[in-house]
Structure 1
């Protein structure tokens, strides 16, 4: 009976349902075997699709219906495994097994049951949470084709505060990605650029044909690039009546038109990241590691003048509060230093957001993520972009900072020269002839 017990336990693990076919309720056993074989085939097909057609795999599992189907399948199999294992314990007849073997058999069977059913249950929970997260962040809309072989995304770091009339972008850049190779170029746009032009057909461009605030000033306290968001959002939202229906806002739409005027690129999508919410996301991931290049102060208040203490040069592990101050600190520094630190923080966050870390802390990450990101990227494009991002990670990221060291004077910028600088950075590298 002890040998029989061990055989039944091993069979239940190796081929769930076979125990019932051999020694119990055959109808239940046939059902369990069918479910096991179906699940194994489904898993094999899923792995094959992931290996051979990763974009299709990612499209399915970044889709609400695909995630719900996965959640239901995992929950169903978890319940089936639980029933089969409990029935196996009944068929084992522990009281007739050897006294020394009984605790081991019972503990092993229970541990495997908890491991498999628990994993399936957690997988179902993650799938449902991911579905809710993706639906809350990404819009349901048509996909956009690449333009001139590239996808151009406006990345905004929002910095709201009690001393401001609404949110004002604190960090602005355009990420241009080759739609075939995944090669990415980041164009950092100083927030204090003046006389900013707008793309053709822009609503604000009609008010400022010579550039933002170039003739008679503007309707905000500072006629610079990041003030465009505030003016459109707070003072001239009526110029963008369809923005909300498109998953955007008047301030974002106006900023996109200005970024297109500066760079000469057509921007298909935007991503707005709330810098304050970034703190919660960093905490959810367990903090980030940053190599501090120069002394950076942590302030005591929003005036950015009183210093509480300094980050000294070297490797630093920061929680969300300190990482946010590292990115936003203004005492004894310049906007260009802050741009570099914000880029450094973004790169550190991406490094920390590895699959294992995200999965183990998924609930906190998803909760923070809903508060951090606003975008008009359609959910149907996620599979393609995740696959493209995998290519991007294997390549060095080009940087085009529009700073004085590159010949850009923010108070009197030469926008024609800026476009030449960007075109040169985005020009494809010629293939050497044999």
Structure 2
């Protein structure tokens, strides 16, 4: 007779022994699914259960090792459609196996032979384990499927793009499609330049009233504006300023950029890219458009943001503060989406006007990045994913997401340099682009220590 014989061939006449046996089987099923069947049931099913358990453990250990040695590899897998699909299939398969093994374990326990008091506790414990493990793995599978769909909808399909002069330059547009606006237009414009190795980032903010604005070499806009957009107050819309370029091209000149839609962009966005390249002297590889109207949903999905408000700001209203529906008061505040949206949009009541608003939008973007952490994303993923599809549009290739996640981790560890092309340093009505290009170049050049002279 083997050691396992009392468990496989128990004394069913002893409720006390059957209760102890039942607890052992349930615990074995929790710690090593499949072991209960090896000891007391169908050994073939048990061997299959143990095999799946060892595979799961091996994958967990491998994931930990890869994360410690090469986190970039893990990010690549976790942001690829194939990797997410594989994770979804594995999680669903594990749920099915776990449910089968748990039900079979409860059958092997023979609850009717256990002591009446133990019967209830063993059954309740088994049900809680079944629900807990199955729901956790099931939710993870749903998250993987949702992430696969969201990433596919937001990010472009295409090859990786090499850095230019060791940097990735990304045009960041804040589109204002608020309830009091007709259509969408870029209300904030900046270029984020990131060192491809260190993650050190420089944010270059451009005012919307920059005029005139030159276009980069080869831009189809040069034919109409060889001296820059808005030169001599010339344009095809009512206001000739930087963010008007988007509106003009979308309304009148879409044919200038016939491939924009196929490239996961828009004609107006491509014209803005040409303008910001001309203004900064940088080659811009990617763009990210954030819809400020959808910002509120994203912030609510994240649970709000913490902002240290410097001055009292109105919610709603015009330049004379007529129609104000509320106020944002100075001090540290935890803002919901609605309040944060007005914190970013309000241009009345602050001494710096548009330039203060630019700074607040940058502050809000930084606050949102701080709110995005693994726990927050996992626990609120469905809401974040739904909001993200409405908020973000970009041409960053999906296959580069792993790289940018890894680079973003480095960026969060070092201070971000801000270069604002605003008065008094720059006169938007009479910009000196040689000066601007020199300022940009200096901001992107790493500081070097001056050798001390010997003596």
Shorter-normalised TM-score: what interval?
Answer: over 0.9
Separation in 2 of the partners of 1:414 and 1:140? 38
TM-score by length of 1: 0.96
- Which residue of structure 2 aligns with residue 356 of structure 1? 375
Q: In the TM superposition, what whole-angstrom CA distance separates every residue of 1:116-147 from its partner, at most 9, and x where no partner exists?
A: 11111011000000000000000101111000
- Which residue of structure 1 aligns with residue 114 of structure 2? 97
* Alignment match of 1:398 (pick from 417, 441, 447): 417
Q: Is the 8 A contact 1:58 1:382 kept in 2?
A: yes
The alignment partner of 1:272 has SS state of: strand
- Which residue of structure 2 aligns with residue 414 of structure 1? 432
Matches within 5 A, 1:287-306: 287-299=304-316, 305-306=322-323
Q: In the TM superposition, what whole-angstrom CA distance separates every residue of 1:20-68 from its partner, at most 9, and x where no partner exists?
A: 1111111111111111111111221122112211111111110111101
Q: In the TM superposition, what whole-angstrom CA distance separates every residue of 1:305-364 from its partner, at most 9, and x where no partner exists?
A: 422222111112222111111111122231111001111111121222222122111111
Deviation at 1:275, TM superposition (A): 0.4
TM-score by length of 2: 0.92
The answer to whether 1:234 aligns with 2:251 is: yes
Q: Is the 8 A contact 2:321 2:349 kept in 1?
A: no
CA RMSD of aligned residues (A): 1.7
- Which residue of structure 2 aligns with residue 317 of structure 1? 334
Query: 1:4–1:247: structure 2 CA closer, same or farther, 3 Å change rule?
Result: same
Deviation at 1:205, TM superposition (A): 1.8
* Alignment match of 2:231 (pick from 197, 200, 214): 214
Separation in 2 of the partners of 1:337 and 1:411? 18
Separation in 2 of the partners of 1:320 and 1:198? 36
Q: Paired residues, what number?
A: 433
Separation in 2 of the partners of 1:117 and 1:161? 42
- Which residue of structure 1 aligns with residue 89 of structure 2? 72
Query: 1:165–1:209: structure 2 CA closer, same or farther, 3 Å change rule?
Result: farther
- Which residue of structure 1 aligns with residue 125 of structure 2? 108
Matches within 5 A, 1:280-291: 280-291=297-308
- Which residue of structure 1 aligns with residue 344 of structure 2? 327
- Which residue of structure 1 aligns with residue 14 of structure 2? none
- Which residue of structure 1 aligns with residue 202 of structure 2? 185
- Which residue of structure 1 aligns with residue 3 of structure 2? none
Deviation at 1:216, TM superposition (A): 6.3
Q: In the TM superposition, what whole-angstrom CA distance separates every residue of 1:81-116 from its partner, at most 9, and x where no partner exists?
A: 111011111111122222222222222222122111
Deviation at 1:301, TM superposition (A): 8.0
Query: 1:13–1:330: structure 2 CA closer, same or farther, 3 Å change rule?
Result: same
Separation in 2 of the partners of 1:213 and 1:165? 22
The alignment partner of 1:127 has SS state of: helix
The more displaced of 162-171 and 279-288 is 162-171
The alignment partner of 2:62 has SS state of: helix
Separation in 2 of the partners of 1:33 and 1:417? 69
Query: 1:204–1:303: structure 2 CA closer, same or farther, 3 Å change rule?
Result: farther
- Poorly superposed stretches of 4+, deviation over 3 Å: 161-166, 300-305, 431-434
Deviation at 1:431, TM superposition (A): 5.7
Query: 1:281–1:304: structure 2 CA closer, same or farther, 3 Å change rule?
Result: farther
* Alignment match of 2:408 (pick from 389, 406, 409): 389
Matches within 5 A, 1:111-190: 111-161=128-178, 166-190=183-207
Asked which structure has the greater CA Rg, the reply is: 2
Q: Is the 8 A contact 2:319 2:348 kept in 1?
A: no
- Which residue of structure 1 aligns with residue 284 of structure 2? 267
Q: In the TM superposition, what whole-angstrom CA distance separates every residue of 1:154-207 from its partner, at most 9, and x where no partner exists?
A: 000001257656421001000000000000010011111001011001111221
* Alignment match of 2:260 (pick from 243, 257, 260): 243
- Which residue of structure 2 aligns with residue 16 of structure 1? 33
User: Where in structure 2 are there 5+ consecutive unaligned residues?
Assistant: 1-17
Q: In the TM superposition, what whole-angstrom CA distance separates every residue of 1:263-315 from its partner, at most 9, and x where no partner exists?
A: 11000000000000111111222222211111111115899742222211111
The alignment partner of 1:244 has SS state of: coil
Separation in 1 of the partners of 2:311 and 2:207? 21
* Alignment match of 1:365 (pick from 362, 369, 384): 384
The more displaced of 171-180 and 27-36 is 27-36
Q: Is the 8 A contact 2:192 2:203 kept in 1?
A: yes
Query: 1:241–1:187: structure 2 CA closer, same or farther, 3 Å change rule?
Result: same
User: Where in structure 1 are there 5+ consecutive unaligned residues?
Assistant: none
Q: Is the 8 A contact 1:165 1:230 kept in 2?
A: no
- Which residue of structure 1 aligns with residue 447 of structure 2? 429
- Which residue of structure 2 aligns with residue 86 of structure 1? 103
